[in-house]
Copies of this chain bind each other. A is one copy, B any other.
Amino acid sequence: MTRSRASYRTIRDEISRRIASRVWLPGALIPGEEALAGEFGAARATVNRALRELAEQGLVERRRKAGTRVALHPVREARFAIPLVRHEVEAAGQVYGYRFLSSVVVGAKGQVAERLGLADGARLRHVQALHLAGSAPFQFEDRYIILDTVPAAQDADFSAIGPNEWLVETAPFTHAEFSFFADAAGKEAQHLGIAPGAPVFVGERITWLAERPITLVRMVHPSRYRMVTRL
């Protein structure tokens, strides 16, 4: 045996290989953990971990009593890292720049109040800022911070450090909702240096601490932006 020992990676990759090479066809039942443990000379827990990871990837589907099947329609998941803008820019080898635009305390109303599940009039700090990669605009940030949840945000100074970095270190979140879509540039066009109506890539994020909303942010990128991942 060249294989010093059966690791869960070895087993996972071998099973993955058998699926890819169609030794086990989509929809087919594969051997149980016990059987595979025997085949690979490993403990059942080791096989379990291998299969669990494959199930997380969506490559197989597992059900008690029914066993493990090769997924018919691999509803696979793509994972995207959600880094700080600054890290994103620096990772691309460019110099990060930050420009504070405006800040004002307002009462919640309309769509914003609704999306955050707030009563009209709840106090929000509305901040706008621009993030640069080198000298080029990279992201326009339009953010509401719920002051009931994060009172300290009322007096925070966002002239030098962006509200995202401030929040990350001050108010961890427990839940989040992300959405991404394309839109036509509105008022942010001038800040991004593009024509009004030009396509922009928008990321929206709402974060909560337990059941209390922390912040709603709209991050607008010019259309040269790409969100990329591999798996």
Contact = CB atoms under 8 A, between A and B. Distances in A.
Contacts of A16: 174
Number of copies: 2
A168 to B, nearest CB: 6
A199 interface: yes
10 residue pairs, one from A and one from B, having the closest CB atoms: A199-B199, A182-B182, A182-B201, A182-B199, A179-B228, A180-B227, A182-B223, A77-B79, A78-B178, A181-B226
Interface of A: 16, 19-20, 22, 26, 58, 72-84, 87, 165, 168-169, 172-184, 198-202, 209-210, 221, 223, 225-231
Contact of A87 (B73, B182, B202): B73
Contact of A172 (B20, B182, B183, B228): B20
A51 to B, nearest CB: 15
Contact of A229 (B20, B177, B209): B177
Contacts of A78: 79-80, 82, 176, 178
Contacts of A227: 179-181
